[in-house]
Amino acid sequence: MSEVSLAAPLAGWLVSIREVPDPVFSEGMMGEGFAVDPVHGSVSAPCAGVVVQVASTSHSVTLRTDAGAELLIHVGLETVALGGEGFETHVQEGGHVRRGDLLITFDLDAVGLKAKSLVSPVVLTNTQEFRLTLHSVDRLVSAGDTIGVIESLGRRSAEAPSNGDATTLECLLGFEHGLHARPAARVADAAKRFSGEINIIADGKSASARSAVALMALDVRKGDRVSVTASGADRDAAARAVCAVLSTVEQEHSSFARVAPAAVLADNEMGGVCAVPGVVKGTAFRWRRKSAVVPEDGQGLEYERKALEGAIDQVSSELQAVRNAAPGAGGDIAQAHLGLLHDENLRAEAAVQIQAGRSAAYAWMAATSAAADALRKTGNPRMRERVADLEDISAQLVRKLTGTEDLAGDEFPDATVLLADDLLPSEILSLDRQKLKAIAVERSGPTSHMAIIAASIGVPTLVAVGPKLGDVAQGVSVLVDSTAGKLVIDPADDVVERALKRNSALNTPAGPCRTRDGTTVRLLANIGGAPEVDAALAAAAEGCGLLRTEFLFLDRPTAPSSNEQADVYQTIADAFGGLPLTIRTLDIGGDKPVPFITFEQEENPALGARGIRTNLIDPELIDTQLQAIARVRSDALKVMIPMVSSVEELRGVRARLVELGAPAALQVGAMVETPAAALLADTLAREADFLSIGTNDLAQYALAMDRTNPLLAGMIDALNPAVLRLIALTADAGAATGTPVSVCGNLASDPVGAVLLIGFGITELSGAPAALAMLRRAISQVTTEECRDLAQRALQLESAGQVRALASEMISAGEGA
């Protein structure tokens, strides 16, 4: 069995593929692998091989090793939508590369602002022939660090059987950005459900529908005609199923950009781009911005200077009020506008114009117009977005100086569908939200500040409808179906009913997760920073059961200050909006070193000064973090101490938080991730406000197997009956003392693990956001009594494999019930 050593292609935080916030990757539809949350914008070859595919948008590269293993390296999530902006490839298809050769460079900031996530998956796509084994995950890596191996399994994929007959269907590709990774994976996943051979033919090239890499290499674009040829006994169903996927109109998660194809629009319908999904029937009302009459000549230097300063003060007060009242997107944009309002260059240019005899309004318009022109000339899309902000702040100030006001909100009819050529952020913030039910605009885009504010206040919004929107009569009944990307004039009742039903089905909140017999299981999310909150909330997480604070400490020469940490923690708490937030104190050491702490040489770092034991090396580090946590304002805040092995450690942290003036509602809990903590669970439970089981380390320490050792990685399984007995011991201790017990390790992201944990009486699980949907489905298939029976039987088994087989059988039986 041959092996290829694998290097990290990017520098950053290495995680399991299961942690990627996209089910195409996390659920293994593309294959097995890992991901890196990058800290630098360069991608190098993880091993030697030939370049078999370079995305036309430069966001991904696929390599094939000499042995035939295929590796897809995909920078960020949903980055195909950027159209290559911010990316540059340094290799060509067919070229050979050595380990460490540069493949892609990208603008980390620019891509990070527009992508769904910078987390970059690396996937072994032909897992039927090869196996990828990682040394360890959840650690900081440098590009070029050895992180695992790829092994040949010594077998080649057999072609699916064919009976000689074939079915061929044609369709048009519906995916907005062509057959990139996500749609290719969906096609391959659909094809694998059928027995016969299935091929996709486009522009004279053919690819197996079962190979996502081969499909991407076809370079098929939206609207291209493709043929699907299927053979075998189920050939008709296979061809129809694959065609159905190929024809899908892709839904982009990051910007909700969904466009209704022109071919399916009726005469009374207009297509657009969805900025905020939703379905609303209402009355069309056109927003017409009143033109301000701006005199060019001023009324004297002193008069115009005072007029400008007075207007700036008025607008500044209004923006500050918006910022304070709207802590979310609206507040952020108001803060940005405040910065422009007090920009020294703008005010200096306006002063020059006033000195030349211009009116204050004319002077301010001239200053902002010149700045906007300069930004347009850069050609940088990020700079072009700032043009809209300049136009907005200009309009706000000119309205004050000229006494011009827009239409008042009380002129709106009930259930207003506001139509406009475009809306300024300040205008949408001023609208009557009781009457405003939907927005449709001719211009703008799904990521504009206007769209961001509309999303923050939950108003369905359709953008880029085009000039035909101006033909819609005032007062006519309209249906905005932004989820489907269209506006319907005078919609029939059945059209409205279907749209509302479909939207309700798509957007019905997941609600409480329950077993088949009604036991509620609380599902929370594990996150590693503020950018991951959106993914957690989108997955219907009921809060955060584990905030890994290490992200604040890594890849920097000095530790973050108390102020910096407090600001970040407060931002995350605010983003969760009152839902529980559990902050785990710093867990470094072991396989997670930081440059500003000098760890003594340790023969076994996993047993060294990590977690709460960092106090032994740098007590100020943990104390600074506790100071920050004590300042966070949230009634739902909890703090969780890692690597606890004694009650004294927990008492020490609690006492220090009291000294620092932490809120009385702040709960302090202990992680159970050492055998000592599990064996002392009854004692810890009497001292702690809650216990949270970290199954990753608990398995490592219970089995005496280093989880960074590649030889042992396959044997470290939290489903091992020995580990399960420690979990049961902890759960029993919590039940006896009335102390809540949850699980935040990988076992909580595993449907098999979830049903077992419920059997032990644990009904709060915190897992990867991408895993929550699978957990809900698995939990809904079983009863509490079945889980209890499973848990007791599992404790008597001999191996993790036996436990997994028994639990999987129970879940499958529930699905068939």
Between strands 690-693 and 741-743, the pairing is parallel
| Rg for the chain, CA atoms, rounded | 29
Closest by CA to 418, choosing from 283, 604, 592, 274, is: 283
Q: Which of 243, 544, 744, 787 is catalytic?
A: 744
Query: 37-46, 173-182, 641-650, 779-788 — which is least confidently predicted?
Result: 173-182
Query: Given pLDDT bands bounded at 50, 70 and 90, which one contains residue 647?
Result: confident
pLDDT at 423: 82
Which residues on neighbouring strands pair with residue 691, listed in sequence order?
670, 741
Q: Are 676 and 645 in contact (CB under 8 A)?
A: yes
Listed in sequence order, the residues at least 6 apart from 628 whose beta carbon sits closer than 8 Å to its beta carbon are 562, 563, 564, 565, 566, 569
Q: Are 591 and 136 in contact (CB under 8 A)?
A: yes
DSSP assignment of 439-497: EEESS--TTSHHHHHHHHTT--EEE---GGGGGSPTT-EEEEETTTTEEEES--HHHHH
The segment(s) of the chain belonging to CATH 3.30.1340.10 are 166-246
Give the CA count within 13 Å in the CB-facing half-sphere of 90: 12
The segment(s) of the chain belonging to CATH 3.50.30.10 are 262-289+408-507
The segment(s) of the chain belonging to CATH 3.20.20.60 are 516-596+604-816
Q: Which fold has domain 166-246?
A: Histidine-containing Protein; Chain: A; (3.30.1340)
Percent of the chain with pLDDT over 70: 82
Give the CA count within 13 Å in the CB-facing half-sphere of 273: 17
Q: Are 693 and 771 in contact (CB under 8 A)?
A: no
- Give mean pLDDT, residues 446-462: 73
Better pLDDT: 756 or 333? 756
Q: Which fold has domain 262-289+408-507?
A: Glucose Oxidase; domain 1 (3.50.30)
Q: Is 149 exposed, middle or buried (0-12, 13-18, 19+ CB in 10 A)?
A: middle
Query: Given pLDDT bands bounded at 50, 70 and 90, which one contains residue 147?
Result: very high
Query: Is it the case that residue 106 has pLDDT exceeding 80?
Result: yes
Query: 197-201, 508-512, 516-520, 558-562 — which is least confidently predicted?
Result: 508-512
Closest by CA to 415, choosing from 506, 495, 504, 496, is: 496
Strands in 96-97's sheet, in edge-to-edge order, are: 96-97, 49-54, 60-64, 70-74, 120-124, 32-38, 12-16, 139-141
Q: Are 423 and 431 in contact (CB under 8 A)?
A: no
Q: Which fold has domain 516-596+604-816?
A: TIM Barrel (3.20.20)
Kind and range of the H or E run holding 50? strand 49-54
Active-site annotation holds for 90: no
Query: Is it the case that residue 509 has pLDDT exceeding 90?
Result: no
Question: How far is Cα 491 from Cα 475, in angstroms, rounded to an integer?
Answer: 14
pLDDT at 263: 38
Question: How far is Cα 587 from Cα 597, in angstroms, rounded to an integer?
Answer: 13
CATH architecture of structural domain 301-402: Orthogonal Bundle (1.10)
Max mean pLDDT among 116-120, 524-528, 603-607, 729-733 falls in 729-733
Active-site annotation holds for 449: yes
Q: Are 692 and 742 in contact (CB under 8 A)?
A: yes
Question: How far is Cα 285 from Cα 436, in angstroms, rounded to an integer?
Answer: 10
- Give mean pLDDT, residues 533-541: 84
Place of tokens 């960074």: 708
Between strands 279-286 and 416-420, the pairing is parallel
pLDDT at 617: 55
- Give mean pLDDT, residues 295-320: 88
Task: Give 717-775 pLDDT, tens digit per residue.
Answer: 788 899 999 999 999 999 999 999 999 977 888 788 899 999 999 999 998 786 787 78
Question: How far is Cα 522 from Cα 741, in angstroms, rounded to an integer?
Answer: 12
pLDDT at 595: 57
pLDDT at 373: 77
Q: Are 630 and 662 in contact (CB under 8 A)?
A: yes
Task: Give 592-631 pLDDT, tens digit per residue.
Answer: 455 556 555 545 545 554 555 555 455 788 889 999 999 9
Query: Is it the case that residue 692 has pLDDT exceeding 80?
Result: yes
Query: 202-216, 291-305, 373-387 — which is least confidently predicted?
Result: 373-387
Kind and range of the H or E run holding 579? none
Closest by CA to 51, choosing from 108, 15, 104, is: 104
Question: How far is Cα 205 from Cα 217, in angstroms, rounded to an integer?
Answer: 9
Q: Which fold has domain 3-152?
A: Glucose Permease (Domain IIA) (2.70.70)
pLDDT at 89: 93
Question: How far is Cα 684 from Cα 640, in angstroms, rounded to an integer?
Answer: 13
List, as own/partner pairs, every contact residues 681-686 make where C-beta atoms lie below 8 angstroms and the sequence separation is at least 24, other chains included.
681/729, 681/730, 681/732, 681/733, 681/734, 682/733, 682/736, 682/737, 683/647, 684/644, 684/647, 684/650, 684/733, 685/733, 685/734, 685/736, 685/737, 685/739, 685/741, 686/737, 686/739
pLDDT at 534: 83
Query: 538-552, 618-632, 801-815 — which is least confidently predicted?
Result: 801-815
List, as own/partner pairs, every contact residues 336-345 make where C-beta atoms lie below 8 angstroms and the sequence separation is at least 24, other chains included.
336/389, 337/389, 337/392, 337/393, 337/396, 337/425, 337/426, 340/389, 340/390, 340/393, 341/312, 341/315, 341/316, 341/393, 341/397, 342/312, 342/316, 345/371
Q: What token pair was written down for 465?
A: 């409808």
Q: Are 478 and 282 in contact (CB under 8 A)?
A: yes
The segment(s) of the chain belonging to CATH 2.70.70.10 are 3-152
Query: Is it the case that residue 711 has pLDDT exceeding 50?
Result: no
At residue 321, the 3 state secondary structure works out as helix
Better pLDDT: 527 or 113? 527
Query: Is it the case that residue 261 has pLDDT exceeding 50?
Result: no
Better pLDDT: 380 or 95? 95
Query: 56-60, 358-362, 480-484, 776-780 — which is least confidently predicted?
Result: 480-484
Between strands 486-489 and 690-693, the pairing is unpaired
Q: Which of 180, 449, 513, 787 is catalytic?
A: 449
Task: Give 153-204 pLDDT, tens digit per residue.
Answer: 775 544 444 445 788 887 878 776 677 766 777 787 777 767 678 888 887 7
Strands in 166-172's sheet, in edge-to-edge order, are: 166-172, 225-231, 198-202, 205-208
- Give mean pLDDT, residues 770-797: 87
- Give mean pLDDT, residues 268-293: 81
Max mean pLDDT among 110-119, 411-420, 797-806 falls in 411-420
Which residues on neighbouring strands pair with residue 521, listed in sequence order?
513
Question: How far is Cα 205 from Cα 203, in angstroms, rounded to an integer?
Answer: 6
Question: How far is Cα 263 from Cα 809, in angstroms, rounded to an integer?
Answer: 46
Query: Is it the case that residue 371 has pLDDT exceeding 50?
Result: yes
Place of tokens 């961001």: 452
Question: How far is Cα 714 from Cα 32, in angstroms, rounded to an integer?
Answer: 14
